[in-house]
């Protein structure tokens, strides 16, 4: 979840004025709680964690990638990257003119087996790899084609711009197991429940119930990543029923907690 002051080592941001080639790779082994200060750059970034959960936080919302999913960050967007536990991360920087097909918003994408192997191979190349029609250039072309086709998944947490509603959302992010209801929040905002539900849908694109459930499930990633039993993860994010938690988890992430964190 978004930063709460309990941070680990700060990661250095590459000091690049421009990319040496259309595609630039960065492989990192990150300590628990690693983070970058908020920054932006003039190229697109695609990062995924081979192990660990990756989080990208922006003014528009937060985006999370469990192992084998990645986060696409458009050029020029101010963002902060965090990992809650130790992680092996791979990042690709892409010149914006070499991916004109890319949308101008953050996305969480599924890394297919083919894309994963192509990224692995590309990360072994030197930064100034040969161009001019050689095998390296052909690898880059195929990898860019694959990146353009990666399926998008819904691991984002959109944030409202309404100041008072944003305060309530941040409270729930910090305490995902808190008992909250439409009635409680509408009373705190001084509006009717119907008005609150319309406001929430307009500001986040999700229903109140759907957003609250997403907060809880995303918060459980940190607990599961730490090797906790699924029952503990369910309780930590406000679920009293383990079976209900597993069903909701699988619906959002496409896998059960055990399947998603099998590498532990």
CATH number, position 170: 1.10.10.60
Could you tell me if 27 and 149 lie in one domain? yes
CATH number at residue 123: 2.60.120.810
SS3 7: coil
23/239 Cα distance (integer angstroms):
43
Q: Given this model, what pLDDT does residue 6 score?
A: 54
Lookup result for tokens 């909701």: 248
What is the reported pLDDT for 28?
A: 83
pLDDT of residue 220: 92
Last residue of a domain, one of 100, 133, 153: 153
Among the candidates 107, 131, 153, a domain finishes at: 153
CA 200/CA 211 separation, integer angstroms: 9
Is residue 14 in a domain? Answer: no
- Residue ranges in the chain whose pLDDT is less than 50: 1-5, 264
DSSP 165-213: HHHHHHHHHH-TTS---HHHHHHHHTS-HHHHHHHHHHHHSS-HHHHHH
- Structurally, the chain folds into a number of domains equal to 2
Tell me: do 212 and 254 sit in the same domain: yes
Do both 163 and 130 map to the same domain? no
Structure-token pair, residue 125: 């190349």
Q: Two tokens at 160?
A: 């409202």
- Give the residues across from 61 on adjacent strands: 158
CA distance 163 to 178: 20
Give tens-digit pLDDT for 74-89.
999 999 988 877 778 8
Each residue of 194-234: pLDDT tens digit? 999 999 999 999 999 999 999 999 999 888 888 889 999 99
Task: Report DSSP state, residue 96.
Answer: G
For residues 177 and 212, the answer to whether their CB atoms sit within 8 Å is no
What pLDDT shows up at residue 98? 93
Please report the pLDDT score of residue 215 as a whole number.
93
Whole-Å CA distances, 248 to 81, 215, 244, 253 = 26, 12, 6, 9
SS3 for 15-32 is CCCCCCCCEEEEEEEECC
* Same structural domain, 147 and 215: no
Same domain, 40 and 148: yes
Contact 23, 96 (CB under 8 A): no
Question: Quick one: 37 and 132 in the same domain?
Answer: yes
Q: Where are the alpha helices (DSSP H) in the chain?
A: 113-123, 135-149, 163-174, 182-189, 193-204, 208-225, 230-236, 242-253, 257-260
CA distance 79 to 57: 6
Domain boundary among 106, 132, 153: 153
The answer to whether 61 and 132 have CB atoms below 8 angstroms apart is no
Give the model's pLDDT for residue 2: 42
Residue 2 counted as domain residue? no
Residue 28: domain span: 23-153
Is the pTM value of this prediction over 0.85? no
**Going by C-beta distance under 8 Å and a sequence separation of 6 or more, which residues neighbour residue 255?**
none
């Amino acid at each position: 979840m978004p930063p709460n002051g309990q941070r680990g080592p700060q990661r250095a941001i590459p000091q690049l004025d421009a990319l040496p080639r259309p595609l630039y790779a960065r492989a990192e082994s990150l300590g628990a709680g690693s983070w970058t200060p908020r920054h932006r750059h003039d190229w697109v970034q695609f990062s995924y964690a081979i192990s660990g959960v990756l989080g990208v936080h922006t003014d528009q919302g937060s985006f999370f990638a469990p192992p084998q999913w990645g986060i696409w960050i458009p050029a020029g967007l101010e963002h902060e990257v965090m990992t809650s536990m130790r992680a092996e991360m791979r990042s690709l920087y892409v010149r914006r003119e070499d991916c004109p097909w890319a949308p101008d918003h953050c996305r969480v994408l599924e890394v297919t087996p083919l894309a994963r192997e192509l990224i692995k191979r590309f990360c072994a190349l030197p930064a100034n790899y040969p161009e001019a029609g050689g095998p390296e250039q052909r690898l880059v072309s195929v990898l860019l084609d694959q990146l353009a086709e990666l399926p998008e998944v819904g691991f984002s947490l959109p944030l409202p711009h309404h100041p008072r509603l944003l305060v309530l959302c941040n409270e729930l992010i910090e305490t995902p197991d808190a008992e909250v209801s439409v009635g409680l929040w509408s009373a705190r905002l001084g509006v009717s429940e119907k008005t609150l539900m319309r406001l929430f849908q307009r500001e986040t694109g999700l229903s109140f119930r759907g957003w609250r459930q997403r907060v809880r499930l995303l918060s459980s990633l940190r607990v599961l990543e730490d090797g906790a039993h699924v029952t503990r993860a369910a309780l930590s994010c406000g679920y009293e029923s383990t079976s209900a938690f597993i069903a909701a988890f699988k619906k959002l992430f496409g896998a059960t907690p055990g399947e998603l964190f099998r590498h532990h």
